[in-house]
Structure 1
Amino acid sequence: MKRRIFFSLLFTMLSVSVTTATKQEKYIKHTVVKGETVNIIAQKYSVTPYDIFKLNPDSQNGIKLDAVLLIPPSSIGTTTAAQKQAVVSSKKTTHLVQPKETLFSLSRQYNVSVDAIKNANAELLKDGLKIGQNVVIPAGDVFTQDTYQKPPVEKPVVKPTEVAKTVVKEEVKAVVAKPTSSSKTIYHTVEAKETKFGISKKYGITIENLEKLNPQIVSGLQVGTKLLISGERTISEDVSSVAKSKSEPIKETVSTKKYLQEYVVRQQETLYSISKDFAISEEELISLNPELKKGVKLGMILRVPMKEKSEVKPVINKTQSNLSTSIKSDKKKQLVLLLPFNISKIESDTVNSTQARLKKDKFLNMTLDFYSGALMAIDSAKVLGLNVDVSIFDSQETKNSSAAASVIQQNNLTNVDAIIGPFYQTNVEKVAEMLEGYNTPVISPLSKESGKGYKNLYQSTPTAEQMKSSIFDFMRSKNGNIVAVVDAKKGSIINYLKDQQRDVKIVGLSDKGTLVSDSLLVKLDKNKMNYIIVASEKTGMILSSTTSMVNAQRNYQVQMVVLEQNETLDFEEIPLAKLTKLNMLYPSISKSNETLEAIYFENNYKKINKIVPNQYAIRGFDVTFDTLLRLSQDKSFEETVQGSATEQIESKFDYSLNENGGYSNKGVYILQYEADLSITEAK
């Protein structure tokens, strides 16, 4: 069968065309690119940041990569006198106080005097303005044209050389016109992780005054910088500071500012899961929400930090979608598969025949299996009437080399709609890097490695890290008590639990490295399901652990858990009856499927190939068919990824945006053994 497939390598081609309509808009649409800020965009279009904020209110909390902003024509980029004559609404407004905000900044933002805000919040402001307070903004104060000021906007991002010039200019001004004061001069040396907000709060001054006294920090703080807090800086220090700014390039720093937002607690969420979602410690979360000391409750409204721009992910309510019901076939799409047949090596092999090579070359067999499944997906696409041109090329790859780049150049494939392959992570990353400027989706079909941050790279196979993370999310969703029995040789697992899963109770072992039943029992909770992780490849350790767990089931709810594939569990010495009695739980990238569609696929595959499809054949079908369906929607490939999770024969595709760019598939199944020896998806 494989020999026939290898020699045929038939390529299926489907095609159609589409028309697009353009519409004359009043405003310009700008797509945010990496490194842009509101100020930079405003300068580009000769408008003010305030004009952008008016048309895009959400941009006041930061802008996201690839977000689309409405930009007014520059002719209307100036604020009119009518706009400056602000009239305050008769309704009261509440404002959630953010870091760096002062009464003065609030008065400017809402066109209300400082005294009016103080009077409306007399009790609340007894101890001053604090982060997280809900401040009432009163009505009735009207700012005239002379006193009107625009809302505060973020500082523009400029090049280090421009910053240095600005610092020199500001420092010279400070030398010429220093304020006179009889107060004692106070300095502060910046330490690691300190922010302008924290320093200004510590000394009771505003950030604006801190920056005026220390212009060199406008673009950001540097560890070790000596800041003037109050009093006067000596002339020698000013000259030294200016000289330093001329001679040393100023490093660009990332602001640690975190705005606050209100968040409603959802079902099955815990203190740990919320703190993890918002990249904040449990202690910090409790300090912002003292009511959490009494526990997390459904429907609670919490104050949580809004993630930094680099961390922001679109808020998506994904649904499990059947994309075959929403096909749009009025536009021709092009899909390319780069598969490692390595035909030139086979043709030049004078020692082994093709038949002999097929018998011993596991990588070639895997490639042909994947290819056979992909051909089934292409046939299914024809039946559905998908208008996609599919081209298949030999990527001629090994772990350290690939001909994919030359294939793309020689065949002018830079403008195709998607590429599946190559197989090896290093090779697929090179293709993604090559096509990143074209924003061509590059789908990694098999690699489980964590990829580099290319915005167009889609890891279709969940990583080992995502597998482990998924099963912990499941256990916490059940409010389980998580316990771990870890072999001393599994240092990586121990480190992972201590660093990433700190609430897990690790069972101590004896001096000989064996499990003592009493050490396990003291970690169990009678009021919860006890999920007991067993991380060992030693038959003796697994036997003693499972025996202790079965005995514990007399008084406790106990379920066994493994985090990764463990061949020792397949040994005859490990009774299957114990694993089923403990309903062994584990993460998997695939699950068996007995639906009519799955049965039809298997029967059709056997009819064509005279063999039952293996995991690589099914994977070839799932990845290819999912890609074909996503290309056949009225949205871009990336939009379908952001909005729809899908499920094919044995695989789930639920892509998530990575912090460093690109997407990874978090479609992991949590499976468990049943008493009847079947394996089902845990609910």
Structure 2
Amino acid sequence: MLVSFSALAQKFTTHSVKKGETLESIAKQYGITEQSILNYNKEVKKGKAIKANTILVIPASKANVAVVEKSTDTIEGDNGAGVKALLLALEGKDVKQGPKEPIGYSSHRTRRKETLFGIAKRYNITEDQLKRYNKELYSVQLKKGMILKIPRYKNNDVSESKYNEEDYEVYTVQPKETRWSIAHKYGITIDSLLVLNPNLSKITDYLSSGQELLLPRILGSSIKEQETQLYNSYTVPPKQTFYSLEKKFGLTADELMALNPEIKERGGLKEGMVLRIPVKKTQTGEVNIVNYNFYEVKPKQTAFSLTRKLGVTYEELLELNPELKEGLKAGMVLKLPKDQTGDFDVKNALILDKINLVDSINSMNKPKLLFLLPFRLDRLNLSDDVSAKNAIENRKDVRYSLGLYSGAMIALDSIAKLGISVDVKTYDTQLNRNRTKSLMQGENLMNLSAIFGPLEPQSLKEVALQAAEYGVPVVAPLTEKSDLSLSNVFFAMPTENVLQEHMMSYVEGIRTEENIIIIADQKNKPIESTLLMRFPGAKIVTLKEDRTVDIEKISQLLSAEVENWVFLETDQANVVYHVGSLLNSLITEEVGIRLMTTDKNKAFDSEVVSYSHLSNLRFAYPSASREIGNNAFAKMYRKKFGADPDAYAVRGFDITLDLLLKLAYKNDLVKASKLIGETEYSGNKFNFTKDRTSGYFNMASYILGFENMRVTELKD
């Protein structure tokens, strides 16, 4: 089917440099100046050759409005099991709408320590909208004194502050600060903080670094000029007056209202109102968030329920929080040791109640997803089942895509049962960047909730760049890292560094006196050095030229007093085979040996490696996923497709379900990811954390181990 339509040009596009192309020829090709290209590609220098395959950001010329013809492949077939049930090509629609246009502009002079996030938040616009009208921000850092053009949009609610500016100041949240620590610095209650900043979430206590808050200038000074005080809570009794409070605490009505803005908000003193009252000066107002986390007591919580939730005894709580002697009250902020674990998540030193996404979804939210995967319909002969099956088995891209998408279909079925309607469109990228670019230009990105895929890095760059113009998040299901500097990409696969760190932290957490030995080939010397730094007393065994280990040397290093933990870092199957066999032969009643690695790659899965040896050595390793067994998802998948799900189907299900539940909760993946901690589904965990220079990275993973010829999850 051939569909013709007009598409408004994007503000930017990309260009892959071909051999022989120059800055001048590329500029002429796009009808722009050479300087325009240089402005957005700082790595390119005028007068110097550009390397082939370099990806350039190309600003669109004013006249660049393109008419695009897009071919959409459609497969006719039933909804039964097998390939045809998965390959449902969806038709594209005309694009009539471009980026939202402003109705006017204002200006803003940047101040010290201001951030793009804070400025955008202040004017109720996105960072991308701010950059669109201040193009220098694509290539330079925000600096004090810059004059920015601020677009104003219809229905933007940027209301004037109802507070006197002389009495209040804007405070920028610093890394690791919490609502409680900021309220403590300024001597106000958390309720006051919410009154002054009504946009703060009522569901979670999380604050993001760079966020701007309105806070009182207590007694006409700034926070840096104040001596921090300690405060007590005071509950207003019936018929309390400002005069009686002044007599009782020595504070004027103005001082009380500065400390407790909710007094003004609620029209005066009210019975039962909890006020913040200063009691004494202290030398420092710094809140120790290095050694402690903090939890705000919720209404109706009891000492019993609190101690169960936080995993501590009441005596331990009392020792850290002496104010509990006067009773447990809602709004109290309790201090806990940093290493305390329990039924909660921790973000920014603040203990958050776990959010049950299934119970928190809003059926009014209707996510819109776009799937971009290389099904390679151009290479499959669907009229011949044998040919199609062989093509799928021999092509990784097709196998990965079908696995991911089949799992996603089960997730779509599951979310529908929860009453959530999802608008889904799916395209075959055919592993072609130009086709992907054309598909994106033909889509109305304005109302999309998220994009799933594509798989190949160059197409991912193209999609991320175009989607960023509209603030649309892009989920990379298999790519673990990229050189992308765009902030809208969610990398669902944890990186090698995340897995390595998890394994080392796990070993540190369970180690007592074990003897650690490290065996690493030449390629893995960097991780050997890292392990030595983490475990200074570790012993090193060097591989011989034939990539074997000297049995006498390693025997001398083994301890009979404590268990021996051997890190094996290699990507050579013959090394894994040799070391595994050797260590297995050295196990005796006196000498215990356990094998582990920070990187379980294909070498450990080789046919030459003995599974029984790994089991005898209780082999442990980090993993992005775990085996699912015969769980509910596996049963649903088997019923729909008549086969067991592979790892890609599990991943497709977990990523899509996580994505849909978060969108059904907030309809904004970025906001939902900030509010929600770690999530876990059939075989994958997700805990997305924003990188300062790039997108969101998954920091969650598993530690797995061999035990009695089975692989099980090892708890931290």
CA distance in 2, matches of 1:369, 1:417: 22
C-alpha displacement at 1:612, in angstroms? Answer: 1.4
Q: Secondary structure at the match of 2:290?
A: strand
Contact 1:420 1:445 in 2 (8 A): yes
Please report how far the alpha carbon of residue 340 of structure 1 lies from its aligned counterpart in structure 2 after TM superposition: 1.6
User: Contact 1:52/1:71 (CA < 8 Å) preserved in 2?
Assistant: no
TM-score by length of 2: 0.53
Residues 41, 673 of structure 1: alpha-carbon distance in 2 compared, 3 angstrom cutoff: farther
Q: 1:584 aligns with which of 619, 630, 633?
A: 619
Distance 1:549 1:621 in 2: 38
Change (3 A) 1:54 1:336: same
Structure 1's 618 and 83: CA in aligned 2 closer, same or farther, altered over 3 A?
closer
Measured in 1, the distance between the counterparts of 2:612 and 2:381 equals 51
- Equivalent residue in structure 2 for 1:428, among 457, 460, 463: 460
1:326 and 2:365 aligned: no
Between the aligned partners of 1:656 and 1:357, the Cα distance in structure 2 is 38
Is the 1:408–1:414 Cα contact (8 Å) retained in structure 2? no
| 1:3 and 2:83 matched | yes
> Residues 41-99 of structure 1, C-alpha deviation per residue, up to 9 Å, x if partnerless?
9999999xx97995445658899987442469xxxx9x99x73799x999979xxxxxx
Rate the CA distance shift 1:622–1:664 in 2: closer, same or farther, 3 A. same
Read off the aligned partner of 1:367 and give its amino acid letter: S
More strand by share: 2
- Taking the aligned partners of 1:449 and 1:324, their CA distance within structure 2 comes to 30
1:111-126 equivalence runs, <5 A: none
- 1:264 maps to 2:291: yes
Give the structure with higher Rg (CA).
Answer: 1
CA distance in 1, matches of 2:681, 2:440: 29
How far off is 1:629 after superposition? 0.7
User: 1:613-632 to 2 correspondence within 5 Å?
Assistant: 613-632=645-664
Name the SS of the counterpart of 1:390 in structure 2: strand
Superposed, 1:64-103 pairs within 5 Å as: 67-70=210-213, 83=220
TM-score (norm 1): 0.55
State the secondary structure of the residue aligned to 2:469.
helix
- Counterpart CA distance in 1 for 2:373 and 2:226 is 64
Q: CA deviation at 1:349?
A: 13
1:667/1:629 CA distance change after superposition, 3 Å: same
Aligned-residue offset at 1:478: 1.9
1:477 matches 2:509 = yes
Among all aligned residue pairs of Structure 1 and Structure 2, give the percentage whose two residues are the same amino acid. Answer: 20
1:562-599: CA deviation from partner (whole Å, max 9, x where unpaired): 233344544565443332122100111211234xxx63
- Deviation of residue 647 (structure 1)? 1.1
State the alpha-carbon separation in 1 of the partners of residues 370 and 220 from structure 2: 54
CA distance in 2, matches of 1:89, 1:36: 29
CA contact (8 A) 1:471 1:563 kept: yes
Q: Confirm whether residue 396 of structure 1 aligns to residue 430 of structure 2.
A: yes
2:411 to 362, 377, 380: 377
CA contact under 8 A between 2:597 and 2:620: conserved in structure 1?
yes
Q: Which of 560, 568, 581 is 2:595 aligned to?
A: 560
1:535 to 561, 569, 577: 569
Letter of the 2:650 partner, please give it. Answer: I
Residues 568 and 595, structure 2, Cα contact 8 Å, conserved in 1: yes
- Shift of the alpha carbon at 1:459? 0.2
In the alignment, the residues of structure 2 paired with residue 428 and residue 592 of structure 1 have an alpha-carbon distance, to the nearest angstrom, of: 28
Equivalent-residue separation in structure 2 for 1:342 and 1:415 (angstroms): 27
Contact 2:171–2:214, Cα closer than 8 Å, also in 1: no
Alignment match of 1:496 (pick from 521, 527, 532): 527
* Distance in 2 of aligned mates of 1:674 and 1:525: 22
Is contact 1:453-1:661 (8 Å) kept? yes
- The equivalent residue for 1:462 is 494
Residue number among 509, 523, 528 corresponding to 2:542 in the alignment: 509
Match of 2:278 in 1: none
Is the Cα contact below 8 Å between 1:396 and 1:402 reproduced in 2? no
Matched, 1:448 2:480: yes
Report if the CA contact (8 A) 1:341-1:394 is conserved: yes
Is residue 2:680 matched to residue 1:653? Answer: no
Alignment of 1:244-393 (within 5 A): 263-264=290-291, 314=348, 317=351, 321-344=355-378, 346=380, 354=388, 357-358=391-392, 360-393=394-427
SS in 1 for 2:425: strand
Q: Letter of the 1:430 partner, please give it.
A: E
- Shift of the 534–53 alpha-carbon distance from structure 1 to 2, 3 Å rule, reads farther
Cα distance in structure 2, aligned partners of 1:89 and 1:589: 48
Structure 2 runs not aligned, ≥5 long? 1-80, 92-120, 128-136, 151-157, 178-206, 231-280, 294-334, 340-346
AA aligned to 2:529 is K
Q: Does 1:665 align with 2:692?
A: no
CA shift digits 1:330-357 (9 cap, x unpaired): 233211111222334558999x965664
- Equivalent residue for 1:112? none
The change in CA–CA distance for 1:264 and 1:339 in structure 2 (over 3 A counts) is: same
Secondary structure of the corresponding residue to residue 393 of structure 1: strand
Q: Compute the RMSD of aligned alpha carbons.
A: 4.8
Whichever structure has more helix as a proportion of its residues is: 1
Give the distance between the partners of 2:479 and 2:500, measured in 1 at CA.
16
* Aligned residue type for 2:620: L
Cα offset, 1:485, TM superposition:
3.8
Q: CA deviation at 1:5?
A: 2.1
Q: 1:630 to 1:532 in 2, by over 3 A?
A: same
Give ranges in structure 1 of 5+ residues lacking alignment. 12-27, 94-135, 140-258, 267-297, 303-312
Q: Give the 3-state SS of the residue equivalent to 1:560 in structure 2.
A: strand
2:13 is matched with none
* Residues 353, 444 of structure 1: alpha-carbon distance in 2 compared, 3 angstrom cutoff: same
Q: Is the 8 A contact 2:89 2:428 kept in 1?
A: no
Shift of 1:627: 0.8
What SS does the aligned partner of 1:336 have? Answer: strand
Q: Structure 2: which amino acid aligns with 1:507?
A: I
Per-residue CA deviations over 1:27-52 (Å, capped at 9, x if unaligned) read x94579684578779999999xx979
Q: 1:590 to 1:65 in 2, by over 3 A?
A: closer
Q: Are 1:606 and 2:631 counterparts?
A: no
Q: Give 1:566-577 correspondences, 5 Å limit.
A: 566-570=601-605, 574-577=609-612
Aligned residue number for residue 665 of structure 2? 633
**CA distances 1:169-217 after superposition (whole Å, capped 9, x unpaired):** xxxxxxxxxxxxxxxxxxxxxxxxxxxxxxxxxxxxxxxxxxxxxxxxx
Q: Secondary structure at the match of 1:590?
A: coil
Q: Aligned in 2, Cα 1:432/1:482: closer, same or farther, shift over 3 Å?
A: farther
Distance 1:666 1:502 in 2: 22
How far apart in 2 are the matches of 1:347 and 1:2? 14
3-state SS of the aligned residue for 1:403?
A: helix
Report if aligned partners of 2:518, 2:567 keep a CA contact under 8 Å in 1: yes
**Residues 431 and 541 of structure 1, relative CA distance in 2, 3 Å threshold:** closer
1: CA distance, partners of 2:227 / 2:401: 70
Name the aligned partner's letter for residue 654 of structure 1: N
Q: Do the aligned partners of residues 90 and 68 (structure 1) sit closer, same or farther apart at CA in structure 2, a change above 3 Å counting?
A: closer
Q: Match of 1:644, SS?
A: coil
**Distance of aligned partners of 1:664 and 1:506 in 2 relative to their CA distance in 1, 3 Å threshold:** farther
Distance between the aligned counterparts of 1:625 and 1:466, measured in 2? 23
Distance 1:362 1:511 in 2: 36
Which SS does the other structure have where 1:263 is aligned?
coil
CA distance in 2, matches of 1:610, 1:680: 28
